[in-house]
Chains A and B, each alone.
Chain A
Amino acid sequence: MNLPTFTPNTMACHQQHSMTHCLIHQTMGMLAPYTLQRSISTYFMQGLELSRHKEVQTVHTAAVNDVDVDLSENRYLLSGASDGTIAIHDLEELIKYDHNNRMLDTRVFKLVHSVSPGTTDAHTRSVETVLWYALDTGIFTSSGTDRCLKVWDTNTLKVVEEYSFSTIIHSHHMSSVSTSHNLIAAGTDSPFVRLVDTRIGCFTGILKGHKEGGVRAVCWSPKDEFLLATGGIDNFAMLWDVRSAKGCLKKLQDKGKKKSGYKRDTTHDGSVNGLKFTADGYYLATIGTDQRFFMWDINTGKKLTSHYPPLSHIKKRSVKFCLTKSGRDNFAYIPTGASITTFNISSDSREKHLYGHYNSVNCCFYHECGNQLITGGNDRKILVWTRKGDKEYEDFMCDRRVELIKKNATEEIVTMPESLAQTLDTWSDDEQD
């Protein structure tokens, strides 16, 4: 666990109760255990800043297009880059520098393995989506603009299966809860959603429903193993029951005048580029090129009435955004250009922009166990975001170091860490005037 040890009194519980207060309540049975847990999770989801201590070992030499952390262990970070590189980092094994540029305690997530472009198995072009197999870290899948969907054996880093498509694959997804099937849904430039059964090793189904253009986003429901949501260029997001290939289960339709207006009742006033179910599987979040974010009730197919802040820089490609799962209030992290827009999806709130990447952010993934957001961008970086950029941890470490020095050494001189010294104001040279 990388969770820094905080002294309890420095942390304020979300409900304006002190941590000890909450703990007492919990031990007395007045507070459900998960409530506290969720509160703490929520606490960590707010106020994210670029971490000062955590880094991901650099490996990519091109824009990072997708990141994923396995569900079974919450440990391995899978990332795919636009030059075909696929890399796996271990989020628990750290290269620890005591003094990395005199920064205190830099932790670098160690690279476990990587598939460099040019090798026989590697994607020849940009990798658009990488995905862990839900139940096991032995398998992962990747797809990209080289029209291939590849199933990898993690341990040997060899391609086990390869499915060729006629067009580029915008995104693919596997159900995380399925027990009866191993289907991979792939959204391509064709209007038909293809289903690949990895058990059989071939295409088993085509979902015809989208009118024209491609399908940019596919997502399986985390609750219902047969429920699939797809979003296409035809401005519609559709829900499918993969057992019946006759037609879509439901089209998510937003009543209201559209600006582009040639068709009413579309999901978005632009192509639907991103889809995500909430953790409970009741709601679906969609993002369209109309720079809007909507939440839909799966059961009713109605748009939630709450207002979400407008987005920006949603381009004509699949948006790899994420929703947090374990918090009392959950947040959406959406890559919008150079910034990551984050806002509370449980209640109306102002959006916040996280600035860290340069040029463009491509993907976000909230790592629940580490309470950290992992993002990849066009600047070839995978960045880690934590609450206040680990400032509290840094302070703690500073204090500890001071104590250590006091205990060990006789000399009283405690040098200020460089990183701290640099953040001081230096107006001093104006003093003379």
Chain B
Amino acid sequence: MDGFNVEIESELKKAAEKLNTETVKQMEKSLQELTTTGNPTLNEEEIKKFKRLCRHSDDYVRYAFFLIMKQLKRKHSEIRLSTFQVADELFNRSHAFREMLVNHLQHFLTLTTETEPNMPLPPPKAAANKLKAETLHAVQRWHDKFGQGYRKLALGYEYLKNCRHVDFNQMRAQNLADRLRIENEEKRKQKIMAGKLAKVLQEIEETKSEIENCAKEAENCLNLLLPSPTDFLIDFNDEQNDEKVAAQQGSTAQHREERIGGSDVSESKNDGGKNVKKSFNDKEGLNKSAPCDSISTAGEIQVSESSVCEELTEPRHVSSGHKCLPKGGIKNLDKEESVSAEEDEEDYDESEDLYAHGLTNHNFSLILEVPENVSVQETGDNTDVICTLKEASKLISSMYLPKVTRWLEILSKNGAAQADIKAAIEMKVHLEAIKDKCVELKLVSMKKEKLDDDDSDDDFEEVPEKEGYEARIPSHLRAEYGLSGPSTSNQQPTVDKNNPSHITYANGVKKFEKAFEKKSTWNLKEKIVKADIADPTSLAAALANVKSERSTTSAENKARAGGSNEVTTKELPDVPFVEFGTDLAFWENPDQMEAPSIIKFDSLHRFWATKEAETEKPSQHDLAALKNRVFTFAGKFEPVKWKCRAPLPSGKLCERMDRVKCPFHGKIIARDEQGRPNVTQIPENLCASIDETSSSAIKTTELPPWKDPELQREIEQATGHDLGSARSQKLLDKGKKGKGKGKGKKSNLTDINTSKNTTRKRLEDRVFNKRSLKRVCSTLDNTDYKRVRDKFGSQFQYSLH
């Protein structure tokens, strides 16, 4: 190694001669900076700079190698670690460096992995261990990467493996084990996934038919309720004719047809024509149920008109059994369904009579607005269908759809076959479509309809009259019943009676009509309003009642607001009572207020007085005194209910009852039975104050004020006693120095020397001190000598020796 050291020095010198001195200096500086940071990783920029310097030529690389080797010799493991990292960087870059390092690998290893037992790595221990481990890892890396190109590297690797018993396999095995573990994990996951997949697929297989059945059922039900236009095999030509006629008839109306539904448009229009509410009341009766086919065009037909004079809602009428029926069939059905005499009007459809369409003249414009939502009314005929549909849709939305969604999730997450996923998606889409349809199709429950249609129902039951029920309440009694708007209530029943629109026919075909109020859609409220308010049991009456109540309360409120400036007697005690005083007397014009003049009697004689008493001008001060009012504020006395309760040395608790602060124990705080302060209950500000005091105490413990070196020195000078000013000065300096060092120190290398200051070291210093050793030895010798002398001193033969 000595030879090598010499070689390094000579090489460095030689290199410095050959190379550019500037670069060489830079390299040295850079390496120095790199390696003395003490950081576990290198400074990126610095290493880049260093590499750039090395790149100039191979000579520089060689020079760098010697620099590195020199640096590696430093007896500090952190420096060595950083240096090794630099070497590793260069090793991966430069062939020349590799050649050099591989040639001196033995030496390198000695310095980094303590291959020679007599050259252990320097402190600190942690860095040394890291250095060792990292170097071995690096050697393995190097060997894997460059082993074939550099024979000596392979040899070194084998040497470490065989002779130094470095278990590279274990190192690799660690990686391998990691990989294996990950692989196993992956396998396990895949297995789980496959299991899930299989399970889901099986489930799908099992439930598919069920779902399909359900879907089919629902679909069929939907078709039954809402036949699709394609289901009607309608003669197109016929329809076209109709359409033409319709177009002619509704000249101002623009019709836009979309899709094949167009064929039905005319139909619906025709029906719409029937349903038009005209000014004639009698015509309203004509509004027969629209055939179901018009329903199927929901959303397909948009009839709009800019100049709206009337808005008409065409109600949708759906009844079962319309599916796949040709027009004739519909007619028949219509006929069947229609109960009233209005049926005759149907025949006008074909006759293309304007009048039949409810159009009196050509100027009459009509807008048909087809509501987007289709509602189906439940009737006796379609109850079963609707029931089935409801069940099916419920099943779909609550059970199958979430299930399918879950399947889809699992399938897509676990990488199922494309086909499976596709099938699942299709299923989901299908189900969703059905669900949407069901939602769109408002299934109006029959019961509600029944409630509304009670009076018009043919087979309604006679209910015994409720006690106290008055069908008609006289107008003068209305207020009594809490009913408002006597006129409406008066008229309503008549309207009801006259208005056939409120009559629902037994066939369940419902018709909505809007009268002249410009309300496009039917709503429940309106219905209620129109309903018999006179009937106190009805919802309308109840609502009306509530309304009137509300209005009366609001009126009350208003009244209360109006009378708020009236002072009630209740509020009196709140008003402050002020006695009459000067300021109140001169309230209006305080400028005129005058202070009373004071007459001064100079002589204090009882009888004799001066003629004219001297009056003194009242000063401004006096005036102010007049204006002042004096209130006595005593507050309320609250007796102190708490005690200090700080623990006393006697074991008792402090019995003092101070309001805020005990003169002996400070601020009174919450304490438990033993008198210990309840920390959790200490308010924060108190805590803060405590902290402050404690921190300040810490500060002061660093150097208490009485230890101020200057003060001490002065006292020393004065008294001549040593108070230890030098020591405290030192302490002070040390503290400062430490701080300054922390700031100014460039590197954060671990200071090896300080770590030596251990108990053992200190003890060693004491025990193995030369002087103390001598002293102890001499003492021991003395005692030995004494013992020998005592024992054998008097014996002649021993004294000879």
Contact at A427–B146, with CB atoms within 8 Å?
Answer: no
A383 CA / B158 CA spacing, docked (Å):
13
Contact at A355–B152, with CB atoms within 8 Å?
Answer: yes
Contact at B95–A336, with CB atoms within 8 Å?
Answer: no
Stretch of A139-147, A243-251, A271-279, A415-423 lying at the B interface = A415-423
Q: A206 an interface residue at 8 Å Cβ cutoff?
A: no
Contact at A50–B152, with CB atoms within 8 Å?
Answer: yes
Contact at B2–A312, with CB atoms within 8 Å?
Answer: yes
A433 CA / B92 CA spacing, docked (Å):
17
Contact at A427–B151, with CB atoms within 8 Å?
Answer: no
Contact at A430–B151, with CB atoms within 8 Å?
Answer: no
Smallest CB separation, A381 vs chain B (Å): 6
Contact at A425–B163, with CB atoms within 8 Å?
Answer: no
A427 CA / B55 CA spacing, docked (Å):
8
Give every chain A residue within 8 A of B149 (Cβ-Cβ).
Answer: 418-423
Give every chain B residue within 8 A of A419 (Cβ-Cβ).
Answer: 148-149
Q: B103 an interface residue at 8 Å Cβ cutoff?
A: yes
Q: Would you give 20 A-B contacts (Cβ < 8 Å), ordered by A?
A: A312-B2, A338-B106, A339-B3, A353-B3, A355-B105, A358-B109, A359-B106, A359-B159, A379-B158, A381-B155, A422-B149, A422-B150, A423-B95, A425-B95, A426-B92, A426-B93, A427-B93, A427-B94, A430-B52, A433-B48
Smallest CB separation, B64 vs chain A (Å): 13
Q: B274 an interface residue at 8 Å Cβ cutoff?
A: no
Given contacts A355-B104, A355-B152, A427-B55, 12 further A-B pairs with CB under 8 A are: A51-B151, A312-B3, A359-B106, A380-B163, A418-B148, A423-B146, A423-B150, A425-B95, A425-B96, A426-B92, A427-B93, A430-B55
A336 CA / B146 CA spacing, docked (Å):
27
Q: Which of B58-111 contact A (CB under 8 A)?
A: 92-96, 98, 103-107, 109
Give every chain B residue within 8 A of A205 (Cβ-Cβ).
Answer: none
Q: Which of A378-433 contact B (CB under 8 A)?
A: 378-381, 383, 389, 418-427, 430, 433
Contact at A425–B93, with CB atoms within 8 Å?
Answer: yes
Q: B800 an interface residue at 8 Å Cβ cutoff?
A: no
Q: B229 an interface residue at 8 Å Cβ cutoff?
A: no
Contact at B150–A101, with CB atoms within 8 Å?
Answer: no
> Please, which residue of chain B has its CB at the minimum distance from the CB of A389?
B151
Smallest CB separation, A246 vs chain B (Å): 43
Q: Mark A46-78, 1 if CB is under 8 A from B, else 0.
A: 000011100000000100000000000000000
Smallest CB separation, B182 vs chain A (Å): 28
Give every chain A residue within 8 A of B158 (Cβ-Cβ).
Answer: 379, 381
Give every chain A residue within 8 A of B106 (Cβ-Cβ).
Answer: 338, 355, 357-359
Smallest CB separation, B45 vs chain A (Å): 9
Contact surface of A with B, Cβ cutoff 8 Å: 50-52, 61, 101-103, 312, 336-339, 353, 355-359, 378-381, 383, 389, 418-427, 430, 433
Smallest CB separation, A106 vs chain B (Å): 10
> Please, which residue of chain A has its CB at the minimum distance from the CB of B1?
A337
- Interface residue tally on B, bucketed by range: 35 or more
A357 CA / B93 CA spacing, docked (Å):
25
Contact at B51–A430, with CB atoms within 8 Å?
Answer: yes
Contact at A430–B159, with CB atoms within 8 Å?
Answer: no
Contact surface of B with A, Cβ cutoff 8 Å: 1-3, 7, 48, 51-52, 55, 92-96, 98, 103-107, 109, 115-116, 145-152, 155-156, 158-160, 162-163
Contact at B163–A379, with CB atoms within 8 Å?
Answer: yes
A421 CA / B148 CA spacing, docked (Å):
10
Contact at A430–B48, with CB atoms within 8 Å?
Answer: yes
Contact at B145–A422, with CB atoms within 8 Å?
Answer: yes
A380 CA / B107 CA spacing, docked (Å):
18
> Please, which residue of chain B has its CB at the minimum distance from the CB of A421?
B149
Across the interface, B159 reaches (CB within 8 A) one of A50, A101, A358, namely A358
A254 CA / B146 CA spacing, docked (Å):
50
Smallest CB separation, B447 vs chain A (Å): 79
Smallest CB separation, A289 vs chain B (Å): 15
Give every chain B residue within 8 A of A51 (Cβ-Cβ).
Answer: 151
Across the interface, B3 reaches (CB within 8 A) one of A103, A336, A420, namely A336
Question: Which of B48, B106, B148, B156 is most buried by chain A, counting CB atoms within 10 A of its CB?
Answer: B148
A430 CA / B109 CA spacing, docked (Å):
27
Given the known interface contacts A423-B95, A424-B95, A427-B94, the answer about A378 and B163 at a Cβ–Cβ threshold of 8 Å is yes
> Please, which residue of chain A has its CB at the minimum distance from the CB of B99?
A423
A338 CA / B159 CA spacing, docked (Å):
12
Smallest CB separation, A36 vs chain B (Å): 31
Give every chain B residue within 8 A of A357 (Cβ-Cβ).
Answer: 106, 155
A61 CA / B161 CA spacing, docked (Å):
12
Give every chain B residue within 8 A of A337 (Cβ-Cβ).
Answer: 1, 3
A353 CA / B1 CA spacing, docked (Å):
12
Question: Which of A356, A378, A424 is most buried by chain B, counting CB atoms within 10 A of its CB?
Answer: A356
A381 CA / B2 CA spacing, docked (Å):
24
